[in-house]
């Protein structure tokens, strides 16, 4: 293959990845996928998976290409599926269309696929190449990749803090730590997750709607409140404005009267443990059972700390505002018992730093040790 061919392959795959990225937040627990079909140096078909239960990217691209798909090359950001789900197998569609070559960014971690789609294409005599822009594709579908293997939601923790590590003043006032561009980005993040999770204190003090306010139509995620003592009032804003379901995570011994009042207001109340604190690991499993594959954690310091201690945070997004608020009692981003030695600190990998307006935006992935951790949240 010539250098020109390789460059063209990459440009077509980048186009497929770009189309896939535009559908983030629309496909629920399904991955985002893009497909470009090229014949004799000309694009004849384009497609992206837009919504769970509807046609996959390959189906849309093949429909556009029509008879021109025969002998063409299909560039797909994720291995074509080989099983019957809500839609027929995409690998069979490609075979029926008589494409000559399929270039795939990465294999599908879904145990129902996991290489079977590639094998089926090869058995049909189609040339298959795998691994072009693999890292980009894996990162784009990092939420799906975790959920489909573990059945546990991918948790992205998003927070904003001052230069001295505070997420609010000592009075509890937190409007606003970060600037307007950072707050606008928050709504895009909400759109891309299936659930937003906060603690009871945040829900009571801020009385948030936890909605996605974008200029384009957006999917509102499920609102999740960790509330062992059922302190969330039935007249809370998120219950008055039921634009999306509200789930309250509590414990078996919580006040039955408060439980009944929240249910009457429209909330689903789920028991997660029978102690005095919500068993967060159990909560994640129960949310996974409800096919909530991704959660944006916008908690206070105690919830953030408990989730980190348990190794339940997969990714950190932190806005650092160029200001100092002070106050010994002002809440920090992570509040937990902590470790005895600096060597025990939880490190982060793949850390990236950029400017978002006046704020500094830091992202990274925690690398947890092998020691046991126990914790919960009120």
- Residue keyed to tokens 């060597």: 343
CA nearest neighbour of 23 among 72, 101, 64, 78: 78
d(CA 238, CA 210): 7
d(CA 221, CA 340): 38
Q: Please confirm, yes or no, whether 58 is among the known catalytic residues.
A: yes
CA nearest neighbour of 20 among 52, 60, 47: 47
Burial grade of 124 (CB within 10 A; 0-12, 13-18, 19 or more): middle
E strands present in the chain: 34-39, 42-48, 73-76, 101-104, 127-130, 154-162, 195-199, 222-226, 246-250, 268-271, 294-297, 315-321, 348-356, 359-366
- Residue keyed to tokens 């063209």: 8
Active-site position among 40, 58, 142, 289 = 58
Give me the torsion for CA of 66, 69, 71, 77, rounded to 10°.
-170
Catalytic residue annotation: 58
């Amino acid at each position: 293959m010539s250098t020109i061919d390789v460059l063209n392959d990459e440009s077509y795959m980048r186009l497929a990845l770009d189309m896939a990225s535009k559908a983030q937040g629309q496909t629920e627990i399904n991955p985002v996928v893009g497909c470009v079909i090229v014949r004799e140096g000309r694009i004849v078909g384009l497609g992206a998976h837009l919504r769970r239960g509807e046609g996959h990217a390959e189906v849309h691209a093949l429909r556009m290409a029509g008879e021109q798909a025969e002998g063409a090359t299909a560039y797909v950001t994720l291995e074509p599926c080989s099983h019957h789900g809500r839609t027929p197998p995409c690998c069979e569609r490609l075979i029926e269309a008589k494409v000559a070559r399929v270039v795939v960014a990465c294999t599908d971690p879904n145990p129902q696929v996991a290489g079977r789609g590639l094998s089926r294409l090869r058995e049909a005599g189609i040339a298959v190449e795998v691994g072009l822009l693999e890292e980009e594709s894996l990162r784009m579908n990092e939420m799906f990749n975790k959920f489909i293997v573990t059945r546990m939601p991918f948790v992205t923790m998003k927070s904003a803090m001052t230069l001295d590590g505070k997420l609010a003043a000592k009075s509890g006032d937190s409007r606003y730590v970060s600037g307007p561009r950072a707050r606008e980005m928050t709504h895009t993040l909400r759109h891309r997750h299936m659930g937003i999770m906060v603690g009871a204190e945040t829900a009571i003090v801020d009385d948030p709607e936890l909605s996605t306010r974008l200029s384009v139509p957006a999917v509102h995620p499920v609102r999740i409140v960790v509330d062992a003592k059922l302190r969330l009032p039935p007249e809370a804003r998120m219950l008055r404005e039921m634009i999306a379901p509200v789930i309250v995570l509590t414990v078996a011994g919580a006040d039955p009267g408060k439980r009944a009042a929240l249910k009457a207001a429209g909330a689903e109340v789920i028991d997660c443990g029978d102690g005095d604190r919500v068993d967060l690991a159990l909560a994640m499993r129960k949310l996974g059972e409800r096919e909530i594959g991704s959660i944006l954690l916008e908690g206070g310091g105690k919830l953030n700390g408990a989730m980190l201690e348990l190794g339940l945070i997969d990714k950190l997004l932190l806005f650092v505002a160029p200001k100092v608020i002070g106050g010994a009692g002002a809440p920090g981003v992570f509040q937990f018992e902590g470790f005895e030695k600096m060597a025990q600190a939880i490190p982060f990998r793949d850390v990236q730093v950029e400017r978002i307006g006046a704020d500094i935006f830091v992202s990274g992935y925690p690398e947890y040790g092998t020691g046991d951790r126990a914790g919960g949240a009120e």
